[in-house]
Amino acid sequence: MATVSDNGTVTWISKGAATITATTVDNGFNATCKVEATDIINIPDINFKDCLFEACSDTNNDGKISLQEAKNITEIDCMVLEIGSLEGIQYYTELTYLDCCYNQLTSIDVSANTKLVQLVCYSNHLSVLNVSHNTKMATLLCGNQKTSYGLNFQQLSLTLLNSQLGMWNIMTSPNSPNYASFNTHVELT
């Protein structure tokens, strides 16, 4: 169900349907809308969605992926599937391993996947890779991109970084246990 604040903000409380009626101050106009809140995850990329179904994300076989179903998945292997977007990956909060190499991805944001230990994303078209909150990440395999870009590893404790092709700007924090492993600006091949 939902609540509506004085300024018109609708807040989801629990899944279900609610009818909201708004009336102008002078009682001259009424508007009614029906709001339905669900715990179903929107996965717009059909190839990514198919991969998630194969990873047993839909445990109750209802043809949908709920937040709870997503939280039960720790590994996703979706390589070579012509995936263009990983939108929805942020709900897989228990994810520790993600392999999405050889796809059509231009950006990856796994910053909400804070338990991620290994990310394999080489051979895409990345111009954005957000790993800003992935402090547990130990392995990042991200080379052979069609573009080059800077990466900020200030919060990471990488033990393996493999960038097969391309120029990378790598910044680490002096507080990182692997600070000595990286230079401020290196070309990895």
Q: What is the pLDDT along the chain (189 residues), one digit of tens a residue?
A: 566 677 666 665 666 666 777 777 777 777 777 766 678 899 999 999 999 998 877 888 888 999 999 999 999 999 999 999 999 999 999 999 999 999 999 989 999 999 999 999 989 988 788 888 888 988 888 877 665 555 545 555 565 555 543 434 343 344 444 433 333 233 333
pLDDT score of 32: 73
Instruction: Count Cβ atoms within 10 A of the Cβ of residue 58 and give its class: 0-12 exposed, 13-18 middle, 19 or more buried.
Output: middle
Domain extent listing, the chain: 2-37, 46-187
pLDDT score of 17: 67
pLDDT score of 182: 37
pLDDT score of 167: 37
Cα separation of 188 and 23, whole Å? 62
Indicate yes or no: pTM above 0.75.
Answer: no
| Fold category of 46-187 in CATH | 3.80.10
DSSP symbol at 153: -
pLDDT score of 19: 72
DSSP symbol at 179: G
pLDDT score of 105: 94
